[in-house]
Structure 1
Amino acid sequence: MKPEETVALTRSILSPADLPTAGEFDFRWRLAVRDRLAGMDLHPTGAVDGFGRIEELDLGDLLVTDWVCPQVEGVRGSNLARHDDDALVLFAARAGEQIIETPDQSVILRPGTILIMSTRTTGRFVVPQHLAKRTVRVPMTALSPFDTGGGVPGCLLLETAQSPLAHLLQEFLMSMDRHVGAMSAAEVEVTRNALLVLIAGVIRASRSDTGGSGFLQLLRRQLEAWIVDRLSDGPIRVADLAATHSIAPRTVHRAFASTGDTVGSVVRAHRLAAARGDLVNTNLSIAAIAYRWGFCDASHLGREFRREFSLSPGDYREAHGFA
């Protein structure tokens, strides 16, 4: 894709009028929830044809979605969480309410709040009446290059009136579709990264507001920084992490487990994020990118990339590259 070309947002509308039966609409709705939010068991408590519509406004690998739905309940158990891809979901409501109950807390999403949740989190939600919201599903590979202060929260609700940074994130999220359709691919990439910077900053600031991360999470940040600095140097081993930081291998594992991660998952996320960046921003061959970021060969990168992004490296470059 040439730098001067503009790109249009993907806007596929799903509403009962577009489909021959309410049953097919219900099936399509459930697939959209699974693919664009997370897997869960859904139980409509109102008329199926009252769901309204879904509009997709994606920024590359960030799945931005507008939802209109009235009464519905959902449950996300440990089995669904275990089999879902590792991601973070950001919610911002335009109208109505959504009640979310996790094993640790209950929160209410409403206008004037921002909710950030990990797809690892289990629980249930209820939409008691009409709800209009915008969501962003962020793969952990996308967020990994940005400093969140160590991992992502299981469930974080912020009042935008009390957090200027959260308010800025909400304003950015709710207004970006007015501009993105007229942007070049390079400008869309900048917008994607700006959104990720804001999300990471909000998470990091929330940790500062609550008094810090504790020893293990601070150690995890140091270990992850070491990993990033040596990502192109070859294999990254737990033994090397432990020896460099004068700690036991068990402590390395505990540091990453404190945020629900493993060393392997963090290394993989950073390698894929770096490879994605090269695909979008450079003309390097896929084989050269694979070698640069520690994959065995182009085929190995291709397998890992398809698993994460549902596209081959070549197809992803064709769709989103601008170099």
Structure 2
Amino acid sequence: MGSVFTDIEAFGETLAASGLPPVLSRRHDGGEFRADVVARDLGPLKLIQLVTPEGECFRDARSTRAADEELWQIDLVTRGRARVEQGRGTADLSSADLVLIDPSRPVRFASTASTHVTMLVPRQELRLRPGDAARLVGVGIKGDRGPAALVSSLAQGMARSLTGFRTNEADRSAAAVIELVAVALEAQLGDARPAPDEALRDRILGYIEARLSDRDLTPAGIAAAHHISVRRLHKLFQDQPLTVAALIRHRRLERCRADLARSDRTVAAVAARWGFADPAHFSRLFKATYGYNAAALTSNNRARTVMVPTARPGQDGDAQIAER
């Protein structure tokens, strides 16, 4: 259940605490101020539902934060109308429409009394190419057809119903939602779709992300699931920073590091959740990659953790995932 606010300053403070990139109020309708906010986390995905009166707000270069450079913001209108201006794009949104926003850049919002849902997605999860992002930011996407309609329908009920998820369930569900968002954005690009190899590689990346906790996730299994040979799979990734096996290791290690930092689970339990069967091997791999022991993240006194240079891509230890 959300919090109802009649004071605009208290509402702004709660928005800041929710993780929403900051905005400055320009005006509201002048009547009684009444707003509502609900924030929920689903793995790496954050959803924030807002009920606001008519008004305007903006974000300028001085109010952006370094953390906002790590996010993409997808706004969805569920009731009322809104206008979003960013860069050279202007999106006029009605119910079910959505827009991609870069939280690290200035933006202006104006809306009627409305309800909308904001999804905050880590950039590393959505993996938008810079050229595609430039074309999509600030452009309205109709939510009454195609993949965008699925995103719109799903997001409308998510912010108030995300309860009862186990950690691995939340992460896998978030991966599925993020993949659906990626499909909707790709569809918006129309004729500027990626080349066939890029599209296939993107699908494989989404497949890997949704199955990181599966110990049987291997290049051979991934190739079979996409009806291609292992040789073809490796060729798709030959110009990428990481091989398929190294990518799986890297993403699993990132999930382990995030879990260890935000939970009181043991190193062995977290390692097992993300597909590492041998705790000793995991500990060696973790230290080789990050320069400190995984157990350091379970300590309350994290300030004592000694950091050394992180391994470069491809130097993340003696992984057990075979390249075949």
TM-score by length of 2: 0.60
Tell me which of 289, 297, 304 is aligned to 2:292.
297
* Aligned residue number for residue 170 of structure 1: 152
Give the equivalent residue in structure 2 for 1:40: 23
Cα displacement string for residues 151-186 of structure 1 (whole angstroms, at most 9, x for unaligned residues):
64433421123x411111112222346764344443
SS in 2 for 1:226: coil
CA distance in structure 1 between the aligned counterparts of 2:129 and 2:148, rounded to whole angstroms: 14
**Equivalent position amino acid for 1:281 in 2:** W
Letter of the structure 2 residue corresponding to residue 290 of structure 1: F
Please report the RMSD computed on the Cα atoms of aligned residues, expressed in angstroms: 4.0
Distance 1:168 1:43, change over 3 A: same
- Rounded to whole Å, the distance in 2 between the matches of 1:135 and 1:53 is 13
Q: Using a 3 Å threshold, how does the CA distance of structure 1 residues 154 and 26 change in structure 2: closer, same or farther? A: same
Mapped partners of 1:71, 1:273: distance in 2: 40
Match of 1:108 in 2: 92
Structure 1: gaps (5+ residues): 1-10, 234-266, 303-323
Q: Shift of the alpha carbon at 1:39? A: 2.4
Pick aligned residue for 2:69 from 81, 85, 96: 85
- Matched with 1:281 is 274
1:210 matched to 2:191? The reply is yes
CA contact (8 A) 1:141 1:273 kept: no
Q: What is the aligned partner in structure 1 of residue 262 from structure 2?
A: none
Q: Which residue of 1 aligns with 2:228?
A: none
Aligned residues: 242
Q: 2: CA distance between counterparts of 1:24 and 1:289?
A: 47
Q: Quick one: structure 1 residues 275 and 213, their matched pair in 2 at CA, closer, same or farther if it must change by over 3 Å?
A: same
Per the alignment, residue 124 of structure 2 pairs with 141
Contact 1:148 1:200 in 2 (8 A): no
How far off its partner does 1:130 sit?
A: 0.5
Q: Does 1:195 align with 2:180?
A: no
List alignment gaps of at least 5 residues for structure 2. Answer: 203-235, 260-269, 298-324
8 Å CA contact 2:73–2:118 kept in 1: the answer is yes
* Alignment partners' CA distance in 2, 1:225 and 1:270: 21
Does the Cα contact within 8 Å between 1:113 and 1:159 map onto a contact in 2?
yes
Query: Residue 96 in 1 paired to residue 84 in 2?
Result: no
Contact 1:149 1:204 in 2 (8 A): no
Residues 38, 159 of structure 2: 8 Å contact kept: no
Kept in 2: contact 1:54–1:65 (CA 8 A): yes
Partners of 1:95 and 1:212 in 2: CA distance: 31
Distance 2:274 2:148 in 1: 29
Does the residue aligned with 2:83 lie in a helix, a strand or coil? strand
Distance in 1, matches of 2:142 and 2:8, equals 38
CA offsets per residue over residues 249-297 of structure 1, 9 Å max, x none?
xxxxxxxxxxxxxxxxxx9x997467548766356588446336x3222
Residue aligning to 1:120: 104
Structure 1: how far apart are the matches of 2:146 and 2:87?
29
TM-score, with structure 1 as normaliser: 0.60
Describe the superposition over 1:62-90 as per-residue Cα deviations: whole angstroms up to 9, x where unpaired. Answer: 11111000123222223334633321111
Shift of residue 92 of structure 1? 1.4
- Name the structure 1 match of 2:51: 68
Q: Which amino acid aligns with 1:78?
A: A
User: Secondary structure of the equivalent of 1:188?
Assistant: helix
The C-alpha deviation readout for 1:97-121, integer Å capped at 9, x for no partner, is 1211223021112213121222233
Amino acid at match of 2:91: V
Work out whether residues 237 and 243 of structure 2, in 8 Å CA contact, stay in contact via their aligned partners in 1: no
Query: Cα–Cα, structure 1 residues 27 and 175, in superposed 2: closer, same or farther, change >3 Å?
Result: closer
Distance 1:224 1:77 in 2: 41
- Name the % identity: 13
> Do the aligned partners of residues 136 and 27 (structure 1) sit closer, same or farther apart at CA in structure 2, a change above 3 Å counting?
closer
Amino acid corresponding to residue 290 of structure 2 in structure 1: F
Matching of residues 248-287 of structure 1 within 5 Å: 272=254, 275-276=257-258, 281-282=274-275, 284=279, 287=283
231 and 38 in structure 1: CA distance in 2 versus 1, 3 angstrom threshold: farther
Q: Is the 8 A contact 2:75 2:99 kept in 1?
A: yes
